[in-house]
Chain A
Amino acid sequence: MNRLSISNLRVSIAEQEIIRGLSLAVPKGEVHAIMGPNGSGKSTLAKVLAGHPDYKVTMGEVLMDGEDILGLAPDERARKGLFLAFQYPSEIPGVTIANFLRAAVQARLPEGEELEATDYYARLYEKMDLLEMDRSFTSRSVNEGFSGGEKKRNEILQLAMLEPKYAVLDETDSGLDIDALKVVANGVNSMRGPNRGILVITHYQRLLDYIVPDHVHVMVQGRIVRSGGKELALELEEKGYEGYDEVKDEVSEPAMA
C-alpha cells in the first residue's frame, strides 16, 4: 500500500511507443534513482506519472498508496501527493513565486479554509533559507528570466513547501554548478523521511554523490533493465551505458525494487 507502484506500463506518443512494459515500485521512506542514456524514456516516465496530456498510456497501471491514479487529472494527482520537479520548468509571467506557491498551498486546504498568511510566509522563508535563496525571490515572476540554477532551486523550494508523499525529480542536476548542486541536494535530503518516497531521474551519477539513493535502476529503451544498490551508479559512471544499448526483447522480467 505505502508505495508508488508502476506495473507493466506502456506509453506512446504519436503512435510511437516510448515506455514498453516498465515496472517499478518506490516505497515510502526510500530514495530510488533511475539512470539511463538519452532517449531511454526517463523524462517521459516522469511526465506520464504527473499526467501530461500528450502521452497515451496503452497498458499497465500506476498505483499511489494502492489507488490507481492514471484516470486522474494532473492537478488531482498533485493534490493527492504526487510532485514532479520539472527538467524544464515553465515561466509564468506576472505571477510572483509567493502568489503562485500560495495558490498551490491553498489548493490543498479543505474547501472554505483560508491559508494563514503569517504562517505561510514564516514557512516559506524557512525553506528559502534552507535553499540559500534571497528573500527578494518571492516577488519575482515564476521562472521568468531565471538562470538554470535558479529554476532548479525554485523547483525544490516548491517541493519543500508542498510536502508531497511522492516526489519525482527529473534531471534536477542539469544546469547546476557544483555549489548549487550541493544546495539543491541538501534541500532534497532534508525532505527524506519515512513518509515520503523519492524518485530521482538522472543521466549522470554526480547528483547521486549528494543524494545517495537506496536503489538504482537502469532504464534503457523504455524498460528497467537492471536494478541494484547505490554502487550500481558508480559502476555506470565507470563503464557508461555501453552494453545496455544491446538489450532488446529478451528482457521480459523487469527488476522490482
Chain B
Amino acid sequence: MVKEVSPLEIERNVGNFAYPETHTHDAGIGLTEKTIHYISDIKEDPDWVREFRLNAYKTFLSKPMPTHWASKDLEAIVFDNIRYYLSAGTQPKRNWEDVPDDVKRTFERLGIPEQERKFLAGVEAQFDSEAVYSNIKKAVGEQGVIFVGSAEGLKNHPEIFRKWFGKVIPTGDNKFSALNSAVFSGGSFIYVPPGVKVKHPLQAYFRINAENFGQFERTLIICDEGSELTYMEGCTAPKFNTATLHSAVVELVALKGAKLQYITVQNWSANVFNLVTKRGIAHEDAEVKWIDCNIGSRLTMKYPGVIMKGRRARGEVLSIALAGDGQHQDTGAKMVHAADETTSNIISKSISIGKGRATYRGLVHIPKHLKNCKNNTECDALLINSTSRTDTYPAITVRGTGNSVQHEASVSQVSAEQIFYMQQRGLTEAQAMSLSVNGFVNDLVRQFPMEYSVELKRLIELEMEGSVG
C-alpha cells in the first residue's frame, strides 16, 4: 500500500481542537468604518489601500445577499456578530522556533512542519487573521521567487502587487468579494520570475482557531512569462456552535506561456460558511488550472474561473464536492473565452450523502467574434441516499460559427444491489460505500498529484463510515 504522508491534513477530527485565544489585536465584534480603520492602522496600510478598503465597505453595504439565486441559508450569517480581525502580531516568523508555542503546537498537530521538510518548496501558515509563519526554501528564493504574506507583498513589492491587485476580481464582483476587499488580512503573495519552473509545490495552510470569527485572506499569484508553479492550500477549523465565516479572494495571473496550478482541499468544520471568489487570467499560451476539492463547511459557494485573455490560452477546473448530511456544496466553474483558439475544460463530480446537497453552477462564455474556441464540460453527480439532493445549473453562451462546446451530465445512485455484492465479498457496508464513491471519482482523482489522491481516498472512507450504520 502507498504510505505517503499527506500534504494537507484533511481528516475532520484531526482539525477539531482549539487552544485558548491569546490575541493582542482584536477589532471587536461587528463591522463599521471604525473596524476598517482599526485594521488599516494595525497593518500600517498605505493610503491607497485604506481608501480601497473604505470604498469596498460601501460596495459591500450596497450589495444585496445573493439569496435570490443561491441558498437562503446565507441569511443565517449575522455580520454584526462576527469578529473581523484577530491576531497576536503582524509579522510572520521565518523559523518555527520563533512561532509562539500554542500556535506552533496547532500546526504540528496538523503535520505542517513535517510536510514542509519532506516535499514542499515553501509554506505559509495563517492563524486567524495573520500569517504566523512564512518561509521559502533557500534554493527557490534564490531563483527570485517571492512567497510572502499579502501584507508583506504590498509593502515590499508594491510595483508588482499594485499592478495586479483587484484587477482579476473587482471589488464589486459580488457581496463577498467586496467584504473581503474591505477587511482582507493574510493570504499569500507570490511572484515567479520569467522562465522559472518551481519544482515542488508552495503551500498555504489556513487555520481558524477563534469562535465567531471571520477569516478574509487575500491571495495574489503572478506567474511571469514561461514560468510554472503549483500552489496548494488547505484549511481546517474547530467545531464551534456558532457560525464562522471564511471569505477569501484569490487572484491568479499567468502571463504568456506560464502554467499555474492551484489546488485546494477545503475541510472546514460544519459550522463554517465558505464563500470564496477565485479567478485567474491566462494570457497567450498560458494555462490556469484549478483543482478544487470541497469536503467540509456548512455552505460553500465557490466557482473558480479562468479568463482566457490571450490566444491559445487554456483554462481548466477539476472539481470534487462531497456534501454530507446538513452540508450544501454549491460549486462549479466559470470559463470566459476572450481570445481565439482558447480551450477550456470543466470536470465536476459531486457526491451527496444523507440530506446533503450538491449544486453545480457552470458558466461558459464564448462571444461571437472568436474563432476555434473549445469547451468541454462534464458534470456527474452521485447520490448515496434517497434523501440526497443534487442540482445542475449550466449556463453556456456560445456564439459564432467556429466554436465548439460539449456538455455531458449524469446523475447516478449507489444501488443496494451493488452494496450487497461488495458486502458478499467481505467488505463492510462503509467500505463498500467508500469503494463505490472512490470508483466514481477515480478518473478525476488520477489527475491529481499523488499525495492528494491518497489523502482524498482516505477522507472519503472516513466520510462514508459516518454515513452508514
Q: Which residues of A contact B (CB under 8 A)?
A: 50-53, 73-75, 78-79, 83-84, 86, 89-95, 99-100, 103-104, 107-108, 114-115, 117, 141, 158, 162
**Inter-chain contacts of A79 with B (CB < 8 A):** 426
Cβ–Cβ contact A107 & B427, under 8 A: yes
Partner of A53, one of B416, B422, B427, B441: B416
Cβ–Cβ contact B440 & A104, under 8 A: no
Q: With A and B bound together, what is the CA distance between A90 and B415 in angstroms?
A: 9
Give the Cβ gap from A161 to chain B, nearest Cβ, in Å.
Answer: 10
**Inter-chain contacts of B439 with A (CB < 8 A):** 92-95, 141
A102, closest chain B residue (CB): B1
Cβ–Cβ contact A94 & B440, under 8 A: yes
Give B435-448 as 1s and 0s: 1 = Cβ < 8 Å from A's Cβ atoms: 11011111100000
B97 within 8 A of A: no
**Inter-chain contacts of B428 with A (CB < 8 A):** 73, 75, 107
Cβ–Cβ contact B440 & A78, under 8 A: no
Partner of A74, one of B415, B420, B442, B443: B420
**Inter-chain contacts of B427 with A (CB < 8 A):** 75, 103-104, 107
**If A53-B420, A89-B421 touch, does A75 touch B429 (CB 8 Å cutoff)?**
yes
Give the Cβ gap from A5 to chain B, nearest Cβ, in Å.
Answer: 20
Q: Which residues of B contact A (CB under 8 A)?
A: 1, 412, 415-418, 420-429, 431-432, 435-436, 438-443
Give the Cβ gap from B85 to chain A, nearest Cβ, in Å.
Answer: 45
**Inter-chain contacts of B440 with A (CB < 8 A):** 93-94
Give the Cβ gap from A92 to chain B, nearest Cβ, in Å.
Answer: 6
Q: With A and B bound together, what is the CA distance between A10 and B442 in angstroms?
A: 42
Q: With A and B bound together, what is the CA distance between A181 and B412 in angstroms?
A: 34
Q: With A and B bound together, what is the CA distance between A78 and B428 in angstroms?
A: 10
Q: With A and B bound together, what is the CA distance between A79 and B431 in angstroms?
A: 14
**Inter-chain contacts of A78 with B (CB < 8 A):** 423-426
Cβ–Cβ contact B431 & A92, under 8 A: no
Q: With A and B bound together, what is the CA distance between A233 and B155 in angstroms?
A: 90
Cβ–Cβ contact A52 & B420, under 8 A: yes
B422, closest chain A residue (CB): A92
Cβ–Cβ contact A74 & B436, under 8 A: no
Q: With A and B bound together, what is the CA distance between A95 and B416 in angstroms?
A: 17
Cβ–Cβ contact B425 & A100, under 8 A: yes
Q: A90-B418, A94-B438 are known contacts; what are 6 more A-B pairs with Cβ within 8 Å?
A: A75-B424, A78-B424, A91-B418, A92-B439, A94-B443, A141-B439
Q: With A and B bound together, what is the CA distance between A75 and B439 in angstroms?
A: 20
**Inter-chain contacts of B1 with A (CB < 8 A):** 114-115, 117
Q: With A and B bound together, what is the CA distance between A94 and B434 in angstroms?
A: 12
Cβ–Cβ contact B442 & A90, under 8 A: no
A86, closest chain B residue (CB): B421
B436, closest chain A residue (CB): A92
Partner of B429, one of A52, A73, A158: A73
Partner of A90, one of B412, B421, B441, B443: B421
Give the Cβ gap from B468 to chain A, nearest Cβ, in Å.
Answer: 11
**Inter-chain contacts of B442 with A (CB < 8 A):** 94-95
Q: With A and B bound together, what is the CA distance between A52 and B416 in angstroms?
A: 10
Cβ–Cβ contact B418 & A74, under 8 A: no
Q: With A and B bound together, what is the CA distance between A50 and B426 in angstroms?
A: 11
Q: With A and B bound together, what is the CA distance between A115 and B440 in angstroms?
A: 24
Give the Cβ gap from B408 to chain A, nearest Cβ, in Å.
Answer: 15
Give the Cβ gap from B407 to chain A, nearest Cβ, in Å.
Answer: 20
Q: With A and B bound together, what is the CA distance between A73 and B438 in angstroms?
A: 23
Q: With A and B bound together, what is the CA distance between A115 and B2 in angstroms?
A: 12
Cβ–Cβ contact A162 & B425, under 8 A: yes
Cβ–Cβ contact A158 & B435, under 8 A: no
**If A73-B423, A114-B1 touch, does A92 touch B429 (CB 8 Å cutoff)?**
no
**Inter-chain contacts of A73 with B (CB < 8 A):** 423, 428-429
The 8 closest A-B pairs by CB, nearest first: A94-B439, A95-B439, A94-B442, A90-B421, A74-B423, A107-B426, A104-B425, A78-B426
Q: With A and B bound together, what is the CA distance between A79 and B421 in angstroms?
A: 13
**If A74-B420, A86-B421, A114-B1 touch, does A92 touch B426 (CB 8 Å cutoff)?**
no
Interface-centre pick from B417, B422, B429 (highest chain A CB count, 10 A): B422
Give the Cβ gap from B15 to chain A, nearest Cβ, in Å.
Answer: 25
Partner of B435, one of A50, A74, A89, A100: A100
Q: With A and B bound together, what is the CA distance between A78 and B427 in angstroms?
A: 8
Cβ–Cβ contact B435 & A103, under 8 A: yes
Q: With A and B bound together, what is the CA distance between A104 and B431 in angstroms?
A: 10
- 26 inter-chain pairs at a CB distance below 8 angstroms, sorted by A residue, are A50-B424, A52-B420, A53-B416, A73-B423, A74-B423, A75-B424, A75-B427, A75-B431, A75-B432, A79-B426, A90-B418, A90-B421, A92-B422, A93-B440, A94-B438, A94-B439, A94-B440, A94-B441, A95-B438, A100-B422, A100-B425, A103-B431, A107-B428, A114-B1, A117-B1, A141-B439
Q: With A and B bound together, what is the CA distance between A104 and B435 in angstroms?
A: 11
Give the Cβ gap from B421 to chain A, nearest Cβ, in Å.
Answer: 4
Q: With A and B bound together, what is the CA distance between A32 and B441 in angstroms?
A: 42
Cβ–Cβ contact A162 & B435, under 8 A: no
B430, closest chain A residue (CB): A75
Give the Cβ gap from A88 to chain B, nearest Cβ, in Å.
Answer: 8
Q: With A and B bound together, what is the CA distance between A190 and B417 in angstroms?
A: 29
Give the Cβ gap from B202 to chain A, nearest Cβ, in Å.
Answer: 31
**Inter-chain contacts of A51 with B (CB < 8 A):** 423-424
Q: With A and B bound together, what is the CA distance between A36 and B388 in angstroms?
A: 42
**If A73-B429, A75-B429, A114-B1 touch, does A92 touch B424 (CB 8 Å cutoff)?**
no
Interface-centre pick from B423, B426, B439, B440 (highest chain A CB count, 10 A): B426
**Inter-chain contacts of A50 with B (CB < 8 A):** 420, 424
Partner of B424, one of A74, A103, A117: A74
**Inter-chain contacts of A84 with B (CB < 8 A):** 424
Partner of A92, one of B423, B435, B441: B435
**Inter-chain contacts of B421 with A (CB < 8 A):** 86, 89-90, 92
Q: With A and B bound together, what is the CA distance between A141 and B439 in angstroms?
A: 9
**Inter-chain contacts of B436 with A (CB < 8 A):** 92, 95
**Inter-chain contacts of A100 with B (CB < 8 A):** 422, 425, 435
